[in-house]
Structure 1
Amino acid sequence: MAVLREWVFGTQRVSLESSDILWAKIRGSFSEPDVRELVRVFRELEAGPDKPLYFVVDLSDSNPEGLSVAPRKYLAEHVRPGWFHAIVFFGASRMHREVLQALVVALQFVDDTKLEAQFVDSEAQARAWLEAHRRRREAAGALKGHA
């Protein structure tokens, strides 16, 4: 799909693919300055309950040890679950999965809002999951409209 907008900071690349799908390609370590830039992108896009995003994160070229403490803390303090329809991770190591699952749980306690996060193996699976999730959301919205 075509890229509408792109941000590059350090070795990280973030792309807006449609009005509500943001992709991140993580290379190497994801540092606290990288996380600060990512949060700035969310704010620039006005992510929030009125304009939630799908956030897809490609971890296949990232540091296999996962996210260090400082970036996790910054994310927990500055990101809100209501900014997202869902988050999809692919290419994650076991360590990534454990750390990111813990972060998702922590974020849910901050706002008492469910944050749906999915781990898949490939970009193709991420795209298929996104489309299925979007169809479920649209169907649920149509049902609410007829109630």
Structure 2
Amino acid sequence: MGLEILVDADACPVKAEIYRVAERYGLPVTLVANDYFAVPRDPRIRLVVVGSGFDAADDWIAERAHPASIVVTSDIPLADRCVKQGATVLAPNGRPFTPNSIGMAMAQRALMADLRAMGEVTGGPKPMSGRDKSAFLSALDAAVVRLNRG
């Protein structure tokens, strides 16, 4: 299994950055989504539409993640599943999910869900900034270089 990028694509704000890195290194990219959307006309980029089933995109990605995969997602349970498969997992802001950090991320997610349920926290994540996209671009490039070195 060769190096590839798997993207949880429905709400991914860094698709353009992924395409740039993939083109630079000649890597295949698979975008997994519940609906169709436009992707660049490039034979290395493919869109997989899984339908609207609950966690259908997550299941598709998690079943195919492997140690030569770079998975891009902000979904912490999906990140956990992929880290356990040995994949390199990055959030769209460039933050890596690792075996050492995923437990804390899962706990923080559960805490935030509880706080939202109690009405203590409202709203979602802050919008992506240029700095976040730049950090993601650097993290993705570094992950590709590291995995290419083997």
Q: Note whether the superposition's TM-score is higher than 0.5.
A: no
User: Which structure has greater strand proportion?
Assistant: 1
